[in-house]
Amino acid sequence: MSQTAETLSPHALMAILMGRRSIRKYHPDPVPEEMVEQMLEAGRWAPSASNRQPWRFVVVRDEQIRKAVAQHAGIAVIRFTFVEEAPLLIMLLGDRSNPVYRTFLHEDVGLAGAQIMLQAHALGLGTCWLGGIDKDAIAKILRVPETMEIVGMLAVGFPAESPKPRPRKPLEDLFYRDVFGNRDAVGVSAADAGWWKRLMSKLRIKFVGRG
Q: Residue 22 carries which DSSP code?
A: B
Q: Which range (9-13, 68-72, 82-86, 203-207) has the least confidence?
A: 203-207
- 120 domain-assigned: yes
- 211 domain-assigned: no
- 85 domain-assigned: yes
Q: What is the pTM of this model?
A: 0.84
Same domain, 129 and 190: no
- 57 domain-assigned: yes
pLDDT single digits (tens) 15-24: 999 999 999 9
pLDDT single digits (tens) 61-118: 999 999 999 999 998 888 899 999 999 999 999 999 988 888 999 999 999 999 999 9
Pure H helices in the chain: 3-7, 10-19, 33-44, 63-70, 105-122, 135-141, 188-192, 195-203
The mean pLDDT of 144-162, rounded to a whole number, is 97
Domain count of the chain? Answer: 2
Same domain, 150 and 196: no
Same domain, 148 and 179: no
- 209 domain-assigned: no
* Domain assignment of residue 199, given as a range: 171-203
- Say whether pLDDT at 4 is over 80: no
- 54 domain-assigned: yes
Same domain, 113 and 64: yes
- 42 domain-assigned: yes
Same domain, 111 and 184: no
Asked if residue 89 lies in contact with residue 156, where contact means CB atoms within 8 angstroms, the answer is: yes
- 166 domain-assigned: no
Same domain, 22 and 86: yes
Q: Which range (144-153, 155-164, 180-189) has the least confidence?
A: 180-189
Question: What is the residue-averaged pLDDT of the chain?
Answer: 89
Residue type, 173: D
Q: Which CA distances in Å does 111 have to 45, 47, 94?
A: 10, 7, 12
Q: Rounded to an integer, what distance in angstroms lies between the CA atom of residue 152 and that of residue 132?
A: 8
Same domain, 134 and 195: no
Same domain, 90 and 37: yes
**Can you state the angle between helices 105-122 and 10-19, rounded to 10 degrees?**
100
Same domain, 98 and 175: no
Between 68 and 207, residue with greater pLDDT: 68
Cα diameter, the chain: 83
Residues 6+ apart with CB under 8 A from 166: none
Q: What is the CATH number of the domain that holds 81?
A: 3.40.109.10
Same domain, 79 and 178: no
pLDDT for res 6? 63
Helix (H) or strand (E) holding 57: strand 55-60
pLDDT for res 56? 98
- Say whether pLDDT at 29 is over 50: yes
- Say whether pLDDT at 191 is over 80: no
Q: Residue 78 carries which DSSP code?
A: E
- Say whether pLDDT at 190 is over 90: no
The mean pLDDT of 51-56, rounded to a whole number, is 96
Same domain, 72 and 40: yes
